[in-house]
Amino acid sequence: MLNFSFQNSTQIHFGERQIATIANEIPADAKVLVTYGGGSIKSNGVYDQVAKALENHQWSEFSGIEPNPSYHTLMRAVEQIKAEGLDYILAVGGGSVIDGSKFIAAAACYQGDDPWDIIAKQHPVDTALPLGAVLTLPATGSETNPAAVVTRDGTKLPFYALAVRPKFAVLDPSVTLSLSPRQVSNGVVDAFVHVMEQYLTYPVNAKIQDRFAEGILLTLIEEGPKALAEESSKDLEVRANIMWAATMALNGLIGAGVPQDWASHMLGHELTAAYGVDHARSLSITLPAVMKIRREAKADKLLQYAERIWGISEGDKQQRIDQAIAATEAFFRSMQVPVRLSDIELGASDVEVLLTKLEQHQMVALGEDKKITLEVSREILNAAL
Amino acid sequence: MLNFSFQNSTQIHFGERQIATIANEIPADAKVLVTYGGGSIKSNGVYDQVAKALENHQWSEFSGIEPNPSYHTLMRAVEQIKAEGLDYILAVGGGSVIDGSKFIAAAACYQGDDPWDIIAKQHPVDTALPLGAVLTLPATGSETNPAAVVTRDGTKLPFYALAVRPKFAVLDPSVTLSLSPRQVSNGVVDAFVHVMEQYLTYPVNAKIQDRFAEGILLTLIEEGPKALAEESSKDLEVRANIMWAATMALNGLIGAGVPQDWASHMLGHELTAAYGVDHARSLSITLPAVMKIRREAKADKLLQYAERIWGISEGDKQQRIDQAIAATEAFFRSMQVPVRLSDIELGASDVEVLLTKLEQHQMVALGEDKKITLEVSREILNAAL
């Protein structure tokens, strides 16, 4: 195990009817901006529950935070905060709304000239408005972590700041029952790949981290298809397990003390930025290809993954690795997401476009060992054709 | 899964040489009381590392916090804090030192007449001195949780207060290399039983909690005996896995959203208070007996435990449960702890003594379903003879 520092201070309220707890979590004298996305919270009852919980608070709202939230949209929320003198943000939505709200929280307190420097120049964020979250789409883990991804003019970039970690997060699995099958499958696949980025590297004998990562993967494999199947798609227990799995997948715990990869994400971000591919559907294409091209460097963990996740014990090492990759792809297909660039009608010429973007963004030394050069990225993307 | 609220805000610094981080974790103007136990930290170098880290702080020390820390000892530390105007506590030791320091932290700020009321009358603890911990004996999880157990005149009782949760905890596995085999085995067994109290109840389809609990159990089973074996007793990776397992066993995570038992602990506390049995060695006697007498109520989880932890799939349900209990006892014996009252030379007359104590302490409705009456406790203790 590697040395590490770990803290996750977010207060979690999990279960049905927990949205009411925000009344006590947000200070009585706070002036709240409720941020959300396209308005689905108005049709599924979440907006009404939030409004009820905030009936004794002063609050305004900002809607229209889009998937892969855009800098320009978010800056309009910052203007509203300044104009109205607001001092607390309640993000109601999935990872994009929460990520976007983290940037709003930081930008509202930013003292420099251009808040984009928080991302572009990784300017440190010492202060931010306090942020709470009501999660409606389990996927990114953003509800308890200090990370966010923001898009500006076709460039999708992350930032990290302890100051933007949500103070509290409400996880009510019943609100996920109204998600579309596509949103459900995207969430399960996103969480799955988050685990793999922290798990499928090289062994450092971190037994707890490995077992926890495997526990999340097994749960997603068991529950994910149930959430899509007609007969169990309204099973609240299934939704609860998926919701808690997605939070644990990226709250810092399984990644503490182990090497991390994130190449599938960096490649996937380019797919999303260039072609508008859903985040999870970019990852379901890039991860299997990364597994194939990086099979030597990842061999020990691939074999452990094969055995503990898929029960694969027959065949020589290469055969077991092949089976494990095939099982991963089969799981993704069962979750109704693409596993090849050709599945989304992209081809060899698009690989060149993606490589150009990677070079522009200086993504030239990816992976747990920084050995994924542009040339290796080309191999990976070709393997994904 | 049951509804739950969960938070664990303790900042963890894990790994070799992390004791130095306390220099930054404790405010520069704090007046620190360093609390510790019998002085082993002076021979194993931990005291010197702490002193070095605190070289720019004002600090005093209080030694002599004993196993099962005594109210009278702890109140002497409170007097010292008041006499010297101290305002921060750094606990350096195992669960007893940290538990005792939690009581000191609460009692030093207590406004009522008698600080014992914090425990005896469960008076709420709204404020406490800030507390940090340097863990030297992985076992109780006290380093990141808000619970403590204090003993007064033969009575061992718990209290819980968010205000006493350590602000930070340093977990350096290398400092555990100087522990005695008895301390190592006690720590592994204590952590194992902590998991079982939160896992071996009845199923609520909490898949992540179950998998995480099983991951900790498997790690302790794998690493515990290695820490005792001559050839691997100085293996730092083994110690690191045990240390992280013990913290995760009782930091609130695996118990969030699931029923909890704790009958083995309540019975064990009486054994310790009446006969001075090491805490872990009381649990290794009570847990197998609880498993035997409560086998019907716990049948579903016992079968899951049998299969996932011990790979037991042969035989009918009762046979598999028998095998799982036998495997648990064999593991405890391999960890060199007793599994019967007769192993520590107690007999039937002592069962009556323990039952009288349980009645005195109103421990008359124990277990996840409150169905362990005094009569059921008699059955359990008789099964432990």
The closest alpha carbon to B85, from B129, B137, B25, B151, belongs to B129
Q: Is A160 near chain B, with CB under 8 Å?
A: no
- pLDDT beyond 90 at A155: no
Is the CB of residue A33 less than 8 Å from the CB of residue A59?
A: yes
pLDDT above 90 coverage of chain B, percent: 97
DSSP one-letter code for B174: G
CB atoms A208 and B237 under 8 Å:
no
- Nearest by CB to A208, from B5, B18, B219: name it: B219
With a CB cutoff of 8 Å and minimum separation 6, the contacts of B237 are A1, A205
- Nearest by CB to A1, from B2, B212, B237: name it: B237
CA A273 to chain centre: 15
CB atoms A14 and B214 under 8 Å:
no
pLDDT tens, position by position, A3-41: 999 999 999 999 999 999 999 999 999 999 999 998 899
Distance, in Å, from the CA atom of A81 to the CA atom of A61, rounded to the nearest integer, reads 10
- Among A52-66, A291-305, B154-168, where is mean pLDDT lowest? B154-168
- pLDDT beyond 80 at A371: yes
Tally of CB atoms within 10 A around A113: 7
Mean pLDDT of B68-96: 97
Q: Is B12 near chain A, with CB under 8 Å?
A: yes
Tell me how close the Cα of B172 comes to any Cα of chain A, in angstroms.
9
Q: Is A9 near chain B, with CB under 8 Å?
A: yes
Name the H helices within chain B.
22-25, 40-43, 46-53, 71-84, 95-107, 117-120, 181-199, 207-228, 236-249, 263-275, 279-293, 299-310, 317-334, 348-360, 374-383
Q: How far apart are the first and last CA of chain B?
A: 36
- pLDDT beyond 80 at A154: no
With a CB cutoff of 8 Å and minimum separation 6, the contacts of A36 are A47, A61, A62, A63, A65, A91, A92, A93, A97
Question: Beta strand pairing status for A58-62 and B58-62?
Answer: unpaired
CB atoms B8 and A8 under 8 Å:
yes
ipTM over 0.95 threshold: yes
Tally of CB atoms within 10 A around B231: 7
- Cβ-based contacts of B244 with chain A (< 8 Å): 1, 206, 208, 257
Read off the tokens for B13: 């610094």
pLDDT band at A350 (very low <50, low <70, confident <90, very high): very high
Distance, in Å, from the CA atom of A377 to the CA atom of A383, rounded to the nearest integer, reads 10
pLDDT tens, position by position, B59-76: 999 999 999 899 999 999
CB atoms B237 and A8 under 8 Å:
no
- Cβ-based contacts of A313 with chain B (< 8 Å): none
- Nearest by CB to A18, from B3, B14, B222: name it: B3
Residue type (1 letter), B16: E
- pLDDT beyond 90 at B323: yes
Q: Which SS3 state, helix, strand or coil, does residue B41 take?
A: helix
Domain boundaries along the sequence of chain A: 11-174, 181-383
Residue type (1 letter), A287: L
- Nearest by CB to A1, from B5, B18, B241: name it: B241
- Cβ-based contacts of A257 with chain B (< 8 Å): 14-15, 244
Q: Is B253 left (phi over 0), alpha (psi -120 to 50) or beta?
A: alpha
Mean pLDDT of B308-328: 98
- Cβ-based contacts of A3 with chain B (< 8 Å): 14-18
CB atoms B257 and A244 under 8 Å:
yes
DSSP one-letter code for B66: P
Give me the CATH code for the A181-383 domain, please. Answer: 1.20.1090.10
Q: Minimal Cα distance from A168: which residue of B?
A: B7
pLDDT tens, position by position, B128-162: 999 999 999 999 999 999 999 999 987 888 899 99
Q: Which CATH architecture has domain A11-174?
A: 3-Layer(aba) Sandwich (3.40)
Distance, in Å, from the CA atom of B99 to the CA atom of B148, rounded to the nearest integer, reads 4
pLDDT above 70 coverage of chain B, percent: 100
- Angle CA(B59)–CA(B64)–CA(B70) in degrees, nearest 5? 115
DSSP one-letter code for A342: G
Q: Which SS3 state, helix, strand or coil, does residue B152 take?
A: strand
CB atoms A6 and B15 under 8 Å:
no
Q: Which SS3 state, helix, strand or coil, does residue B161 take?
A: coil
- Cβ-based contacts of A215 with chain B (< 8 Å): 207-208, 210-212, 214-215
The closest alpha carbon to A168, from B7, B249, B152, B155, belongs to B7
CB atoms A1 and B248 under 8 Å:
no
Q: Minimal Cα distance from A253: which residue of B?
A: B248
Whole-number pLDDT of residue A50: 98
Q: Is B236 near chain A, with CB under 8 Å?
A: no
